[in-house]
């Protein structure tokens, strides 16, 4: 998780920052994870974007939206970009 957050902070640039909360957390917090194994095994699904690219696209979307870009247009643009992937 720290790698993902650090990557997002780096991609966003200043003044983005983060720090780990070392306090108490719900007991199940360390078990909560996304796992695409079932989709991969049963459906033959494979990601078309590498994690670093997906994070770049996500930060790009949020930064542009924060600067006033239309959410619908941003979303449609990224869908079209995704669909054009080899």
Q: Check residue 34 and give its pLDDT.
A: 84
* Statement: the pTM of the whole predicted model exceeds 0.85: no
Delimit the domains of the chain by residue range. 2-83
Hey, what are 13's tokens? 């640039």
Tens of pLDDT, residue by residue over 25-64, are 888 877 888 899 999 999 999 999 999 999 999 999 999 9
């Amino acid at each position: 998780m720290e790698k993902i957050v650090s990557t997002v902070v780096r991609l966003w640039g200043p003044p983005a920052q983060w720090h780990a909360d070392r306090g108490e957390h719900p007991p199940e917090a360390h078990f909560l994870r996304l796992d695409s194994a079932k989709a991969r095994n049963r459906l033959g699904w494979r990601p078309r974007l590498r994690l670093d690219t997906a994070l770049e696209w996500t930060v790009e979307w949020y930064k542009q939206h924060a600067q006033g870009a239309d959410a619908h247009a941003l979303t449609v643009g990224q869908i079209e970009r995704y669909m054009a992937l080899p």
